[in-house]
Amino acid sequence: MQGRLIDYSLIGVCFTLMIAAISLISVYVPTEEQMGVVQRIFYFHVPLAWVAFLAFFVVFIMSLLYIWKGDEKWDFRAYASAEIGVVFTTMVLITGPIWAKSAWGTWWTWDMRLTTTLVLWFIYVAYLMVRSFASDEERGARFAAVVGIIGFIDVPVVALAIVLSRTQHPSPIVFEGGLASSMLLTLLVSVAAFTVFYVLLLRLRASTRQMTSEIMKLRQELEI
């Protein structure tokens, strides 16, 4: 009962923040002078990237806990977070080129930030494949945990790509104080909305995986 109340509360908070974010992006925030309306993708692109990084960090932590403790609940959470992370990284790889086409005149360039993000996507797609197609459930979970731990190395590489290499990707103007107050407010609300959305998805997806596992175990017991 308490878990349901938490989920309902998260849904309410998520819905409120999403409405606020969309309203700010659509009406409140000023149109950027050089890029025009397409710059508003920024308020989706950055939160999507943040949630992808957060999701893979959770995979990293949950995978470590699973290997250490051997408790299925950590695997369920790691698996759920990896699924969400792949979806959000996919959206990053879609919104990025749309923005790049307007800013750079090309859909894609083998820039270090873009390339390492694509590699990150492939790593966690591999995680899902290992986890899904393993013939032995426990062995697949352990192999996937190793992929989740090692694969996380690419996250700081993506984050630091603009420092490690000359890149066309914009510098982190959020930390450089280059955003107007209205833009910063809009970005923060959007980040908060997508973060709560991630937490909600993680809880729902992990609980679904746990229930599925319990049903499969009951079926095996009945067959025996």
pLDDT of 89-113, one tens digit each?
A: 999 999 988 877 776 677 777 788 8
Tell me the two tokens of residue 162. 């603009």
Residue 83: pLDDT band by 50, 70, 90 thresholds? very high
Other beta carbons within 10 angstroms of residue 219's beta carbon come to 10
Distance between CA atoms of residues 21 and 170, nearest Å: 22
DSSP code of residue 24: I
Average pLDDT score over residue span 43-70 = 93
Contact 99, 48 (CB under 8 A): no
**Can you tell me whether residue 97 is helix, strand or coil?**
helix
Residue bearing the bigger pLDDT, 171 or 32: 32
Residue 221: pLDDT band by 50, 70, 90 thresholds? low
Residue bearing the bigger pLDDT, 215 or 114: 114
3-state secondary structure string across 175-220: HHCCCCHHHHHHHHHHHHHHHHHHHHHHHHHHHHHHHHHHHHHHHH
Other beta carbons within 10 angstroms of residue 4's beta carbon come to 8
Using the predicted structure, report yes or no on whether residue 2 has a pLDDT greater than 50. Answer: no
pLDDT at 220: 66
What pTM was estimated for this model as a whole?
Answer: 0.86
pLDDT at 146: 93
Domain residue extents for the chain: 2-223
Question: How does the average pLDDT of the chain come out, rounded?
Answer: 83
pLDDT in tens, 15-35: 999 999 999 988 888 776 667
Q: Which helix (H) or strand (E) holds 33?
A: none
Distance between CA atoms of residues 92 and 19, nearest Å: 21
Distance between CA atoms of residues 45 and 33, nearest Å: 19
